[in-house]
């Protein structure tokens, strides 16, 4: 299975490394306008292969994407401290209008997996460009809140003293400040989280929830203030999504793709739980029926914010 990565800065390079470490993809092609850097990344990552999984890593150009099953797009510019994701919009939109048609020209069968921020809008832009070439939107996936959901599960695990794999919950909506933590759906091993915390005697009141909410919502900003960019969490999230596609796993992930309606907002791209497999998005789990009223309202507001930003481009 072949994976292309377009944009090999901190996120793209870490994703390539994580693919090798996890054994996802046998051939990995890296593309970036900075030819020296991308050649160096390809060589360096290929030296990790003897310690990990077998894979061929190379630097290339668009024609080298031929035969790719997944093309990950991490091209663009990283968010600066104090800069909102939405402020990145116009810079990265221009880059996408250039690169998406080139990817489709050489890898028309690939699933496009978008990481570039603001990821919800960039995914919508990529889907628009793909549609002009007859590619259905189910084959254009944004990482959306996959990373935020992982951050949420990690913090739940830390607080409750459990393996985060046992903490199930979703962060929905925008990958950004308006995202929605669906507390009403959180379970630990199938047990509602409040009940689990009560049984094991760990405080889990509104203040704890508020604290976890803030640490999830502003995790990206905090990390960027500390080290200048984020790469390990997003790289791992992208590999998890790519794995779901390449191995046709039918895995439930909070990715984003254009939706006809999200909580009353038409034609918008924000994260909901989706089934992900070989053909991309196989199904969307519509949550408004299961969310409580305030969560549904928050999801509506989040979708409105993304929709307005997308419309502002026109
Ligand atoms: P970076 O600046 O380190 O790398 C960006 C790379 O894109 C550079 O190597 C640059 O040469 C390349 N690039 C620029 N124009 C290009 C073009 N036309 N074609 C191909 N490549 C091009 O940035 P980064 O830290 O790797 O972040 C990349 C993107 O990922 C940013 O938009 C960032 O905000 C986003 N990001 C998303 C998430 C998420 O959860 N979705 C998390 C972290 C970062």
User: Looking at residue 55, which CATH number applies to its domain?
Assistant: 3.40.50.720
Question: Which range marks the domain in which residue 64 is found?
Answer: 2-142
Residue located nearest, by CA, to atom 16 of ligand 1: 75
Which of 70, 170, 80 is closest to 117 using CA atoms? Answer: 80
Question: What is the tally of structural domains in the chain?
Answer: 1
Burial 63-92 (b: 16+ CB within 10 A, else e): ebbbebbbbbbbbbebbeeeeebbebbeeb
Cα 80 to middle of ligand 1, angstroms: 12
Please report, for residues 6, 58, 92, 96, 108, the alpha-carbon distance to residue 270 in angstroms, rounded to integers and kept in the order given. Answer: 22, 33, 18, 18, 24
66 is a domain residue? yes
Yes or no: say if 190 and 166 are a contact pair by the CB < 8 Å rule. Answer: no
Q: Residues lining ligand 1, CB < 6 A?
A: 6-12, 32-34, 74-79, 92, 95, 98-99, 115-117, 119, 143, 147, 175, 229-230, 234
**Residue 283 C-alpha to ligand 1 middle, in angstroms?**
28
Give the Å distance between the CA of 231 and the centre of ligand 1.
10
Q: Which of 75, 141, 240 to mutate to test the pocket of ligand 1 (most atoms within 8 A of CB)?
A: 75
What phi, psi does 284 have (nearest 5°)?
A: -115, 135
Q: Is residue 81 part of a domain?
A: yes
In a domain, 27, yes or no: yes
In a domain, residue 51? The reply is yes
pTM of the model: 0.96
Ligand 1, atom 2, lies closest to the CA of 77
Residue 171 lies in a domain: no
Catalytic residue among 69, 124, 175, 274: 175
pLDDT score for 303: 97
Does 274 participate in catalysis according to the annotation? no
pLDDT tens string 194-244 = 999 999 999 999 999 999 999 999 999 999 999 999 999 999 999 999 999
Ligand 1 centre from 115 Cα, in Å?
Answer: 8
Report the C-alpha gap between 174 and 148 in whole angstroms.
10
Per-residue pLDDT, 287: 73
Is 164 part of a structural domain of the chain? no
Task: Kindly give the number of the ligand 1 atom that is closest to the alpha carbon of 95.
Answer: 18
Residue-wise pLDDT tens digits, 269-283: 999 999 999 999 999
Q: Which of 73-87, 162-176, 274-288 has the lowest mean pLDDT?
A: 73-87
Does residue 305 lie within any of the structural domains?
no
In a domain, 174, yes or no: no
């Amino acid at each position: 299975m072949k994976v292309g990565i377009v944009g090999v800065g901190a996120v793209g390079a870490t994703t390539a490394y994580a693919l090798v470490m996890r054994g996802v993809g046998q051939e990995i092609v890296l593309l970036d306008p900075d030819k020296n850097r991308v050649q160096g990344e390809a060589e360096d990552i290929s030296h990790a292969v003897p310690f990990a999984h077998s894979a061929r890593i190379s630097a290339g150009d668009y024609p080298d994407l031929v035969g790719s099953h997944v093309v990950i797009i991490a091209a663009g510019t990283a968010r600066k401290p104090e800069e909102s994701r939405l402020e990145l919009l116009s810079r990265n939109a221009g880059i996408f209008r250039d690169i998406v048609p080139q990817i489709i020209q050489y890898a028309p069968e690939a699933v496009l997996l978008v990481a570039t921020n603001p990821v919800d809008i960039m995914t919508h832009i990529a889907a628009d460009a793909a549609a002009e070439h007859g590619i259905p939107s189910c084959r254009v996936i944004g990482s959306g809140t996959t990373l935020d959901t992982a951050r949420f599960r990690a913090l739940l695990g830390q607080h409750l003293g459990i393996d985060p794999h046992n903490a199930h919950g979703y962060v929905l909506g925008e990958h950004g400040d308006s995202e929605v933590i669906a507390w009403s759906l959180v379970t630990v091993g199938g047990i509602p989280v409040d009940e689990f915390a009560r049984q094991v005697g760990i405080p889990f009141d509104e203040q704890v929830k508020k604290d976890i909410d803030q640490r999830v919502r502003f995790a990206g900003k905090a990390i960027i203030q500390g080290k200048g960019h984020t790469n390990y969490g997003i790289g791992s999230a992208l590999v998890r999504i790519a794995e779901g596609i390449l191995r046709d796993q039918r895995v439930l992930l909070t990715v984003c793709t254009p939706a006809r309606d999200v909580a009353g907002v038409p034609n918008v791209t924000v994260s909901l739980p989706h089934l992900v497999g070989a053909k991309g998005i196989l199904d969307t789990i519509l949550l408004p029926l299961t969310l409580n009223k305030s969560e549904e309202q928050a999801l509506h507001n989040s979708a409105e914010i993304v929709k307005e930003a997308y419309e502002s481009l026109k």
